[in-house]
Amino acid sequence: MPSLDVNDTTLHYEDEGSGPALLFLHGWGTSGRAWDAQVPEFARDHRVVTVDWRGCGRSAHPARGNTVPDVVDDLVALTEALRLARPVVVGSSIGGAFAVELGVRRPELIAGIVSVDAPGYWPSEQAQAELVAALRRDRAGTVADWVPTWFAPGTAPALIDRTVRQILASGVHIDAHQATAHRYDPRPALPGLRTPVHYLHGELDTAIPVEVARACAALTPGATLDVIGDAGHMPHQELPHRFNAALRAALAGMTG
């Protein structure tokens, strides 16, 4: 099982294929397995790296370092250690926030960003406080009630259950991301972002409404946006064929 020790933690990653590099970042509490429908497709002509970021999946679950800056530091170390040659970073949900922050802080390391249903800005402080309190009170029940709302109506129950199980298998310390989420707002930095950005967003996403992606795209120089109809917060899992086609088109636009 490939792993890398960085910044006092251990990250699990998978590295397949060859060609232009892609780095896939999953959302809160899941793992690199969230991209199972993308890896075989894109590894045919790309070097594809997926990583379980700290606290999640098969990586270590440390009590410390569960912040956006710390995860971004891990990604910088991973990119350098694996000698990824300016990858395009594809991030789902909070993984998209990590990708944007990587572009803000270390633009020379990456060739582009694909932000998938990512929180350009988060819900209110009160909403996040209520979520964190519910997680502390009954984590399993809260996750079981909340995760189905991420998906579009008609999504296979097995996919939802798989997502719930992944989150509950991850460390409780990742809840720190939810506790501080209301403080995160990249909008002031977006006008200065020089890394190419493409926003992909599910039309039916209720967790992060599509209006968030539209607002962020309007602030980001040269950004483009595709809305995937009939998809919720997880379009790469809900409608993988349509998502993969949209991602290929985005990559073509970034590489010319």
104-145, pLDDT tens digit by residue?
A: 999 999 999 999 999 887 767 888 899 999 999 999 999 999
140-194, pLDDT tens digit by residue?
A: 999 999 999 999 999 999 999 999 999 999 989 999 999 998 888 999 999 999 9
Counting the structural domains of the chain, the total is 1
Reply yes or no on whether the pLDDT at 206 is more than 60: yes
Amino acid at 137: R
42-84, pLDDT tens digit by residue?
A: 999 999 999 999 999 999 999 999 999 999 999 999 999 999 9
What distance in Å separates the CA atoms of residue 203 and residue 182, rounded to the nearest whole number? 23
Range of the domain at 108: 3-255
Q: What percent of the chain has pLDDT over 90?
A: 91
Predicted pLDDT of residue 123: 64
Tokens representing residue 68 in the block:
């956006």
Tokens 């992944």: give the residue: 166
State the CATH number of the domain containing residue 155: 3.40.50.1820
6-23, pLDDT tens digit by residue?
A: 999 999 999 999 999 999
Reply yes or no on whether the pLDDT at 256 is more than 60: no
Q: What is the dihedral of CA 83, 98, 178, 123, to 10 degrees?
A: -170
CB 116 within 8 A of CB 200: yes
Q: Does the predicted TM-score (pTM) go above 0.85?
A: yes
